[in-house]
Amino acid sequence: MEVHALAAEHGDCIVLSYGDGDAHFRLVVDAGVASTSDRLRCVLDESADAICELLVVTHIDLDHIGGTLSLLADRSIATRFNDIWFNGRQHLEVGRESMGVSEGKRLAELLDCEDTSWNAAFGGNAVCLSAGDVPVRKTLPISKAAITILSPSMKGLADLRRLWDIWEERQKQMAGRPINADGVTAGQDAQDIEILSVAPLSITDLADTKTRTDSSVTNGSSIAFIFDYGGFRILLGGDAHASVLLKAVTKLPAEMLNLDVFKLPHHGSAANLTKQLAMKLPARKYLLTTDGERHDTHPNDVAIARALTVTPDAELLFNYPNKAYERWANRPSESGYPFKVRAGGGDEGIRFRLEWAGQGAR
């Protein structure tokens, strides 16, 4: 099993490569911002004989959906995936970042073709938890890899439906109004910014720091899941809300919650990893995906500390050598916390392999 978190600026683009020696498979989660698509094409072309089992577009925020549009505009790539999971407007009829509604509509148009498989594993319906917020388990038909959906809830999709419709109506009303230098329509609410963690605090004190929780509707619609193959277990958190993840994992058996890799939700935001959630999901490796340029509090030191209080000897993996990486790589040693730190660089991002050692995967 290889995990590759591509350099996707402030976005997410993750490729899982796995197989049994006879067949090779790829699973892609998001395609980052628009400029990420060329990098992802190169990665997919590295092994042209690999079976692309699944592409998951977690939600419509631009740092997750942006690269997907140019990627799937190439029909040879769109049809290469056995299934594509994405919740479009038609999937929201159930129970404040830049929101890509127009991009979501364009992606739905690209996927709505006879030669493209869209949410086939769900019978064409929404990718989400079942009634009562119960996790849904799906098995990929060729590799037999198992995927357990932890987010979104039906309520999360219903909330997005309302916001989606409000956004579209607002765009009609705002037509012709000036656009500022950041590409935001005049009058749009400013984004909430987290308070940067104070580095000198001990890891224990950092973990106990009170922080807000994420209230973004688009993040609340994010697809998050556990990927299980060959004894390896990876949680890809998208931008999911901590409360939704926590409610879902409490319904799973304890043995499913010991992770080899946990891609922390929302680029390592403290608003998306509560201490209670971290305690439920111990991992050997924590993956943090962002260059830190757009939001200098992502990854957040509080979130990292919460993870390390659960697994003090974990490896922190950054796809960029950002400021958070520098803080943790240069942090003075602290008794009881023998964690390791590694970062990728350039356009490559970070790649790492999971291998069997003794009684378990490492």
pLDDT at 90: 62
pLDDT > 70 fraction of the chain, expressed in percent and rounded: 85
pLDDT at 183 over 70: no
pLDDT at 24 over 90: yes
Q: Which of 79-88, 176-185, 276-285 has the highest mean pLDDT?
A: 276-285
Cβ neighbours for 155, distance < 8 A, ≥ 6 positions apart: 95
- The structure tokens listed for 185 are 């329509």
pLDDT at 361 over 60: no
pLDDT at 296: 64
The pLDDT confidence band at residue 101, using thresholds 50, 70 and 90, is: low
Please tell me the distance from the alpha carbon of residue 61 to that of residue 11, in angstroms, as a whole number: 9
Please tell me the distance from the alpha carbon of residue 238 to that of residue 86, in angstroms, as a whole number: 13
DSSP 132-170: TTB-EEEE-TTT--EEEEEE--HHHHHHHHHHHHHHHHH
For the sheet containing 283-288, what is the strand order? Answer: 136-139, 146-151, 224-229, 232-236, 259-263, 283-288, 315-318, 340-343
Residue scoring higher pLDDT (15 or 64): 15
pLDDT at 174: 61
Most distant CA atoms of the chain, gap in Å = 64
Domains and CATH numbers, the chain: 2-173+194-354 (3.60.15.10)
pLDDT at 340 over 80: yes
Q: Which residues pair with 356 in a beta bridge?
A: 361
The region of weakest confidence among 184-188, 290-294, 317-321, 326-330 is 184-188
pLDDT at 310: 97
pLDDT at 230: 92
Please tell me the distance from the alpha carbon of residue 306 to that of residue 315, in angstroms, as a whole number: 14
Give one word for 144, left, alpha or beta, with left for phi > 0 and alpha for psi -120 to 50. Answer: left
Burial class (CB in 10 A: 0-12, 13-18, 19+), 337: middle
pLDDT at 26: 95
Mean pLDDT across the chain = 85
Please tell me the distance from the alpha carbon of residue 174 to that of residue 295, in angstroms, as a whole number: 27
- The structure tokens listed for 140 are 């990929």
